[in-house]
Amino acid sequence: MASIKISQLTAAESATGTQEFEINDSGTSKKVTGSQIATFIESEISSDPSFTGQVSLADGTESLPSLTNTGDTNTGVYFPAADAVSVSTGGSERMRIDASGNVGIGTSSPAAQLHVSGSTSAGVIQLGGTSTTGYYAQVNQNANNFQIIANGDQAYRASLGTNNGTGYITFLTANLTTNNTERMRIDAAGNVGIGTDTPTTALDVVGIVAATGGFRETGSNSTTSEGVFTTYRAGTGVQTGNFVRIRSVGDGAGNATQMIFDVNSSEAMRIDDAGALLVGKNVSNFATAGAAFTSNGVLNGTASGTAVLQLNRLASDGNIVGFFQDSNLEGSISVTGTTVSYNGGHLSRWAQFTDNSRPDLLKGTVMSNLDQMSNWDNEDNEQLNCIKVSDAEGDANVAGVFVAWDSEDDGYNDILLAMTGDMVIRIGAGTTVQRGDLLMSAGDGTAMPQGDDLVRSKTIAKITSTHVSHIYDDGSYCVPCVLMAC
C-alpha cells in the first residue's frame, strides 16, 4: 500500500447528509462514515503498520478532533489553525501549541512559552501528592488573586498571594492551631510589613527584631563612617534631620574601631577603641570639653566657664555623695536644709621631702613646714611647700600629720598630709592623754599634751577619744583627734 489519505467531507459534499470521510488508497477513492474508518483500516493495514510518508488528517474541531479514539470521538487531537495543534477532552479544548511554540493550558491564546489559566479553588497548578493526603505545592488564580500554596497533609501550610485590587503581596502560614495567618505584606508602595498589614515605612516591624549579622547601610569597608542603624522621625520615611543613627568608624580592613551615636545630624556620643564612653566630645583628651567614662571606671568631666559637677537630691535631706573603700562607706557629703556637711574626713594636701625621698613614716606622725616648695615638673605650684618630721617641742610651724604616701608611680614621692578635721595622731610611748586635751609637737614626730586649755600657735590637735587604733613597735600609739594644724 503506497499511501492512505483520509479527508473529512463537508455537509454539502456528503451524499447522506451525515458526517462522512473520503479515503484515498493509492488513487482509489471511497466514502465512509466515521465508524467505518476503523473497519477499513483494520482490513487494509496489518497489526503492526509502518509508514514512510506523512499521514494527513482533516483539521477537525474541539468537539470532533481529527485524531481520536474508537468510541470516544470528542477526545483527541485537532488542528485549530495553521501551524497550531490542540488537544481536547469531552468536546472541549484543554491545551494548545500555537505557531510561536507557546503552550496554553486553559487558554487558546497563550502569551508565553507556558501559559496556564484557570480559577478553580483546587489549584491551577499542583506539584507533588494529593490535596488531602500528600505534601504538595499548588498555584491558584482567579480574577483578583494569585496564590502559591505549600501544603503538608493539610495540617501545615504556607502561602504567597497577591490582590490586584490594591496591589499587595501577602505571605501567610498555618499550623494545627492557626489557619492562614498573615505574617508579612508588601504593599503597593513597596513598604514591607512584618506583624502588620499596614506598613508605613520601607520596613515596618511590629515585634522584636534579631539580627545575628547586624545592620549595615553602606557597602564598602573604609576609614569613613558607615551607618549601621538609623531611625527616622515618626510618620515619615524621609531623612529630614530629625533622626537617630548609630554608625561605626572602620579601620580600612572591615573592622569597626569606634561606635558613634548621632542625633539630629550631629554626633552626641561615641564609644572609642579603648572602650571609653564620650559624651559631648569625640576624643578622650581631658582638655576637651565633655564627659568621658572610661572602661576602668574613671569618670572625667571638662566644662568651659561653668560648673563641672552639679548634684541634686530631691524630696528629702540626706547624703548627696557617698565615699566608699573596698565597698565600705567611709565618708559622705550630706545636705540638711541649707547646710552642707562633709562627714568623716579632714582637709589635706600634697607635700614632699626636699630631696624627693621616701623614708618609712608612721601614720599620725607630726610634720613641720619648710620654705622650699614641692616640685612637679611643668606644673605651677604657689602654695604647697616641702615638709620634714617635726623636731622641736612646742613647734609652732607644724604642717599637719602624715596619712600615707601617694600610690601613683609617676616619679614623685608625694605625701598625703592631713591638716584640719577628723584624724588620728601619734602619741609617744609612755605619754598619757585624756579626752579634751590640747596637743602640741613633742619634737620627735609624736604629739603630747600642751599643759593648758588655751588654743595657741603651737596647738595642733584636740583629743576626741582615748581609743587606741594602733600601737607601733617603738611603743607610740594612735588616738582620734580633731586637727587644728592650720
Domain ranges of the chain: 1-56, 125-205, 225-302, 311-339, 346-484
Nearest to 108 by CA among 118, 99, 95: 95
Distance, CA of 479 to CA of 465 (rounded, Å):
7
* Cell numbers 598625703: residue: 416
Question: Phi and psi dihedrals of 34, rounded to 5?
Answer: -60, -40
Nearest to 477 by CA among 485, 394, 406, 465: 465
Nearest to 83 by CA among 57, 106, 101: 101
Q: 188 is written with which cell numbers?
A: 503597593
Average pLDDT over residues 470-485: 95
Share of the chain above pLDDT 90, in %: 53
How are beta strands 103-105 and 114-116 bridged, if at all?
parallel
How are beta strands 339-343 and 203-205 bridged, if at all?
unpaired
CATH number of 346-484: 2.40.300.10
Distance, CA of 67 to CA of 85 (rounded, Å):
11
Distance, CA of 156 to CA of 150 (rounded, Å):
8
409-456, pLDDT tens digit by residue? Answer: 888 999 999 999 999 999 999 999 999 999 999 999 999 999 999 999
**474 CB neighbour count, 10 Å cutoff:** 13
Residue 222 has pLDDT above 50, yes or no: no
CA angle, 464 then 467 then 470, to 5°: 120
- What is the reported pLDDT for 208? 86
273-301, pLDDT tens digit by residue? Answer: 899 999 999 999 999 999 999 999 999 99
Give one DSSP letter per residue of 357-378, joined into a string.
------TT-EEEEEEEEP--TT
Nearest to 67 by CA among 22, 96, 34, 45: 34
Q: 37 is written with which cell numbers?
A: 474508518
The dihedral over CA atoms of 133, 139, 142, 145, expressed in degrees to the nearest 10, equals 110
Distance, CA of 390 to CA of 377 (rounded, Å):
27
- What is the rounded end-to-end Cα distance, in angstroms, of the chain? 141
299-353, pLDDT tens digit by residue? Answer: 999 999 999 999 999 999 999 999 999 999 988 999 999 999 988 888 999 999 9
Q: Is-above-0.95 flag for pTM?
A: no
Residue 236 has pLDDT above 60, yes or no: no
SS3 of residue 452 by DSSP:
coil
Show Cβ contacts of residue 344 under 8 Å, excluding neighbours closer than 6 positions.
323, 330, 331, 332, 422
* Cell numbers 488513487: residue: 27
- What is the reported pLDDT for 100? 94
* Cell numbers 501544603: residue: 151
Q: 25 is written with which cell numbers?
A: 488508497
Distance, CA of 87 to CA of 267 (rounded, Å):
71
117-167, pLDDT tens digit by residue? Answer: 776 555 567 777 665 556 666 676 655 566 676 665 555 566 677 766 678
37-72, pLDDT tens digit by residue? Answer: 666 666 665 555 555 667 777 889 999 998 888 889
Contact 409, 399 (CB under 8 A): no
- What is the reported pLDDT for 416? 95
Report the chain's C-alpha Rg in angstroms: 51
Q: What amino acid occupies position 133?
A: T
Give one DSSP letter per residue of 163-210, joined into a string.
ETTTTEEEEEEE-SS-SSEEEEEE-TTS-EEES-SS--SSEEE-S---
